[in-house]
């Protein structure tokens, strides 16, 4: 088995103006796709973060992977020494997809086998401005209303709010509004490190009985460690522990309870499985993080989640915000029902990529060649004096 051709395909797809503590999502999100072709004509896909830097990294490592065996992930990792984790991960997913297709088994089977056939996902809620598809949602009332829409559509049992947008007191009210509307739901709040320690203590104590965990309320390992002494809510992170080298300092400081794995950022599916084992050994929990993504990443996340026994939390995903027309799949978007998604079972990632849809999203990118995501500049279009102050409250 040999990789005989590699295509790197930047794509762009529409997103609503979703708010976060830094600013607002741009009209288009960008991703880089990797398409590997083998000597037998089989094709494997990977997907990773968009932007020029990642694209350059993917292009740079083409030459060392051409001619290699897609089943030999460890050798590829050595050949790609120095590659950014989000570059390696795209190749790794594509190699696993390709290998699975050639062997007739799924990526989750290649990763050791599924311990679950469906994956619970959270309903990822954002405050946002209005666009052609959504009314403005910048209050507790509109957030609860929109949560009902998503709940009716997908039956989520866990709801996550991207916070750090409104005054902390208003975000406390939002969580209380969701708690009242969804008494059984598990709730999460993620203000992306925008609060001071004092504010985080106030919010953490106010919501102590309402959240399953509080995600990145304050900046850094030290801040999280101090906060953890002052509130009883579990603390989760995808911002202060983002690579293996951060784990020892975090454990020594007793900074976090839950580490959010993300195969794009942690260097692939196998690396994420290793992270889960390390967390289990250290008495930490794992959950799954998400950036804006398309179907290929969704499928990879499902296969990964299916193979990690200690992934007991619902996985975050932005997938609900992808328009049906932007799906890359010939069958349309993967479905979320009762808050769960089936793990695809056919060979490789188990999804059928429509080449014409890839071409359409690539054409989108050529019209909107975003070099790197910039929520701050986008926010200044709406508020010219906007500054990404941290902590803001």
Q: Closest separation between CB of residue 276 and Mg ion, Å?
A: 18
Is residue 93 within 8 Å of 295, Cβ to Cβ? no
Tokens of 372: 């790197």
Q: Closest separation between CB of residue 258 and Mg ion, Å?
A: 11
Q: Closest separation between CB of residue 34 and Mg ion, Å?
A: 25
Instruction: State the Cα–Cα distance between residues 313 and 186, nearest whole angstrom.
Output: 10
238 sits near Mg ion (criterion: CB under 5 A): yes
Is residue 329 within 8 Å of 356, Cβ to Cβ? no
Is residue 336 within 8 Å of 119, Cβ to Cβ? no
122 sits near Mg ion (criterion: CB under 5 A): no
Instruction: State the Cα–Cα distance between residues 74 and 147, nearest whole angstrom.
Output: 43
The verdict on whether 362 is a catalytic residue reads no
CA 251 to chain centre: 24
Instruction: State the Cα–Cα distance between residues 153 and 150, nearest whole angstrom.
Output: 5
The verdict on whether 62 is a catalytic residue reads no
Tokens of 29: 């999100």
Binding mask 135-174 toward Mg ion (x if CB under 5 A, else -) reads: ----------------------------------------
Q: Which is nearer to Mg ion, 35 or 289 (CB)?
A: 289
Instruction: State the Cα–Cα distance between residues 80 and 223, nearest whole angstrom.
Output: 35
Q: Which is nearer to Mg ion, 97 or 190 (CB)?
A: 190
Q: Which is nearer to Mg ion, 190 or 285 (CB)?
A: 190
Is residue 309 within 8 Å of 332, Cβ to Cβ? no
Tokens of 57: 């990294």
- What is the footprint of Mg ion within residues 190-219 (CB under 5 A)? 190, 215
Q: Which is nearer to Mg ion, 173 or 190 (CB)?
A: 190
Q: Which is nearer to Mg ion, 20 or 68 (CB)?
A: 20
Question: Which one is catalytic: 14, 101, 273, 289?
Answer: 289
Q: Which stretch binds Mg ion (CB under 5 A): 2-10, 59-67, 99-107, 189-197?
A: 189-197
* Residue of 262, 294, 322 whose CA lies nearest to 18: 322
Please enumerate in sequence order all residues whose Cβ is within 8 A of that of 305, keeping only pairs 6 or more positions apart, or say none.
116, 119, 288, 311, 315, 343
Partnered with residue 10 across adjacent β-strands are 32
Q: Which stretch binds Mg ion (CB under 5 A): 25-33, 76-84, 187-195, 222-230?
A: 187-195
Q: Residue count at the site for Mg ion (CB under 5 A)?
A: 3
Q: Which is nearer to Mg ion, 14 or 318 (CB)?
A: 318
Q: Closest separation between CB of residue 316 and Mg ion, Å?
A: 8
User: Buried (b) or exposed (e) across 273-294, using 16+ Cβ within 10 A?
Assistant: bebbeebeeeebbbbbbbbbbb
- What is the footprint of Mg ion within residues 308-347 (CB under 5 A)? none
Q: Closest separation between CB of residue 162 and Mg ion, Å?
A: 8
Question: Which one is catalytic: 25, 160, 162, 333?
Answer: 162
Q: Which stretch binds Mg ion (CB under 5 A): 61-69, 85-93, 185-193, 347-355?
A: 185-193
Give the residue numbers annotated as catalytic, written as ranges. 162, 289
State the residues that interact with Mg ion by CB under 5 A: 190, 215, 238
């Amino acid at each position: 088995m040999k990789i005989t051709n590699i295509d790197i395909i930047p794509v762009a797809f529409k997103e609503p103006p979703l708010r976060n503590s830094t600013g607002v999502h741009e009209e288009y999100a960008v991703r880089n796709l990797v398409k590997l072709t083998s000597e037998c004509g089989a094709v494997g896909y990977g997907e990773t973060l968009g932007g020029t830097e990642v694209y350059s990294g993917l292009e740079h490592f083409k030459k060392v992977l051409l001619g290699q065996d897609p089943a030999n992930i460890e050798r590829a990792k050595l050949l790609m020494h120095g590659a950014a984790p989000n570059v390696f991960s795209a190749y790794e997913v594509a190699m696993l997809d390709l290998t699975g297709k050639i062997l007739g088994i799924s990526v989750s089977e290649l990763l050791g086998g599924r311990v679950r056939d469906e994956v619970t996902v959270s309903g990822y809620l954002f405050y946002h401005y209005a666009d052609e598809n959504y009314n403005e949602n910048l209050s507790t009332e509109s957030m609860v209303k929109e949560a009902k829409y998503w709940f009716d559509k997908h039956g989520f049992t866990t709801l996550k709010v991207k916070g750090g947008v409104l005054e902390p007191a208003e975000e406390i009210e939002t969580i209380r509004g969701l708690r009242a509307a969804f008494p059984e739901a598990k709730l999460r709040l993620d203000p992306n490190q925008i609060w001071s320690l004092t504010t985080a203590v106030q919010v953490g104590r106010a919501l102590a009985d309402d959240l399953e965990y509080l995600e990145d309320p304050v900046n850094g390992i030290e801040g999280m460690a101090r906060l953890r002494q002052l509130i009883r809510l579990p603390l989760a992170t995808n911002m202060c522990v983002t690579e293996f080298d951060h784990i020892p300092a975090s454990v020594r400081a007793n900074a976090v309870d839950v580490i959010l794995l993300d195969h794009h950022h942690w260097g692939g599916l196998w690396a994420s499985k290793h992270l889960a084992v390390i967390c289990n050994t250290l008495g930490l929990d794992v959950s799954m993080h998400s950036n804006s993504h398309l179907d290929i990443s969704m499928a990879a996340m499902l296969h990964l989640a299916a193979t990690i026994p200690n992934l007991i939390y619902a996985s975050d995903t932005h997938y609900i915000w992808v328009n049906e027309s932007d799906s890359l799949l010939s069958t349309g978007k993967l479905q979320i029902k009762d808050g769960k998604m089936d793990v695809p079972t056919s060979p490789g990632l188990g999804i059928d990529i429509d080449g014409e849809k890839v071409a359409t999203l690539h054409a989108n990118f050529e019209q909107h060649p975003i070099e790197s995501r910039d929520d701050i500049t986008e926010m200044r279009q709406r508020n010219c004096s906007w500054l990404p102050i941290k902590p803001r409250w």
